[in-house]
């Protein structure tokens, strides 16, 4: 009998409702960004696109605020380096020794995230504000960014190390004669690579976009991107502020795409290693049936 053609299942109402809700949320988040970008490319924001498109405001932003761009990138990369040097060994230690002390340390690390950035900045000013050289240096902003972003690096790495039973891997490496330093670089770091990439993504993006804490810690010579953006919106034309937003996106989006690509490459590499190799089977030669000779049959 001829089988009836297979028909695709009908989409239920719940599917279309979820799709409509997702599109509405996407529009809610992207439409203001698109309008801000268009405002930075128009001659007059109050006239609209009919006034014509221009790159004049982008050139003015670059002339006025290019130092803030390089400073923000430098602080973000320095913050990433500091959180890697401090956060990865700290997460490693807490993964090996899960007790009340390490849990208390983990909770204390989250305080800068729970406390408003203005309060953290005020505490830093009261503690270190008397050191004039530090107060007027970009290092002062870096200290605040490290305090704010360190918990994200520690949590990301700690989650990976807790999931792979790092103690068992360490014991196996130690039984083969590996020292503590060798175990850290050859066992721990390769296994927590995904956590490090995820933490690095959060650290860089949070450092570049941090405003509250930076606004309290900055000086006229240490403006970062978010502070310069607020300054441009407050003291200049809206077109300048919108063009500044374009510069911000042009700088941060390639960083996000690159780090996401590195993370995806690491995930594919881990899946490739985890897949069991198929056993190689040698081809079986064809055999011909053996027939008894005439002499054997007569015998």
Q: Tens of pLDDT along 79-132?
A: 999 999 999 998 888 888 877 887 888 788 888 788 888 888 888 888 888 888
Taking each helix axis as running N to C, give the angle between helix 238-274 and helix 225-235, from 0 to 180 degrees, rounded to the nearest 10. 160
- pLDDT given for residue 131 in this prediction: 87
- pLDDT given for residue 11 in this prediction: 65
Q: Which residues have CB under 8 Å from 199's CB, separation 6+?
A: 83, 87, 152, 153, 154, 155, 156, 157
- pLDDT given for residue 272 in this prediction: 59
Residue 166 near residue 91 (C-beta atoms within 8 A): no
**Burial (0-12, 13-18, 19+ Cβ within 10 Å), 151:** buried
Q: Which residues have CB under 8 Å from 202's CB, separation 6+?
A: 149, 152, 153, 156
- Tell me the pLDDT tens digit for each residue of 41-58: 888 777 777 778 888 888
- pLDDT greater than 80 at residue 262: no
Q: Where do runs of H (alpha helix) occur along 211-292? A: 212-217, 225-235, 238-274
Domains and CATH numbers, the chain: 32-273 (1.10.3720.10)
Confidence of residue 141 (pLDDT cuts 50, 70, 90): very high
Name beta bridge partners: 42. 53
Residue 135 near residue 129 (C-beta atoms within 8 A): yes
Question: Looking at per-residue confidence, does 232 or 292 come out higher?
Answer: 232
- pLDDT given for residue 270 in this prediction: 59
């Amino acid at each position: 009998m001829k089988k009836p053609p297979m028909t695709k299942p009908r989409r239920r109402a719940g599917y279309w409702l979820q799709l409509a809700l997702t599109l509405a949320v996407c529009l809610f988040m992207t439409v203001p960004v698109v309008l801000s970008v268009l405002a930075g490319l128009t001659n007059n924001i109050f006239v609209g696109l009919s006034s014509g498109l221009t790159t004049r405001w982008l050139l003015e932003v670059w002339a006025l605020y290019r130092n803030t761009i390089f400073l923000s990138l430098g602080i973000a990369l320095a913050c990433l380096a500091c959180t890697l040097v401090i956060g990865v060994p700290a997460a490693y230690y807490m993964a090996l020794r899960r007790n009340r002390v390490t849990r208390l340390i983990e909770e204390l690390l989250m305080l800068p995230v729970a406390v408003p950035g203005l309060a953290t900045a005020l505490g830093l000013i009261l503690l270190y504000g008397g050191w004039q050289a530090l107060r007027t240096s970009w290092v002062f902003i870096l200290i605040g960014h490290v305090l704010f972003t360190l918990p994200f690096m520690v949590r990301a790495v700690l989650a990976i190390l807790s999931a792979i039973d790092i103690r068992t891997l360490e014991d196996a490496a130690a039984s083969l004669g590996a020292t503590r330093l060798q175990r850290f670089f050859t066992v721990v770091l390769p296994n927590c690579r995904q956590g490090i990439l995820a933490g690095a993504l959060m650290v860089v993006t949070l450092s570049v976009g941090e405003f509250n804490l930076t606004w309290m810690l900055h000086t006229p010579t240490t403006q970062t991107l978010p502070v310069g953006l607020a300054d441009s919106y407050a003291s200049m034309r809206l077109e300048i502020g919108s063009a500044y937003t374009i510069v911000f996106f042009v700088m941060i989006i390639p960083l996000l795409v690159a780090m996401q690509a590195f993370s995806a490459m690491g995930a594919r590499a881990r899946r490739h290693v985890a897949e069991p190799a198929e056993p190689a089977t040698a081809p079986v030669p064809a055999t011909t049936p053996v027939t008894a000779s005439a002499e054997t049959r007569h015998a």
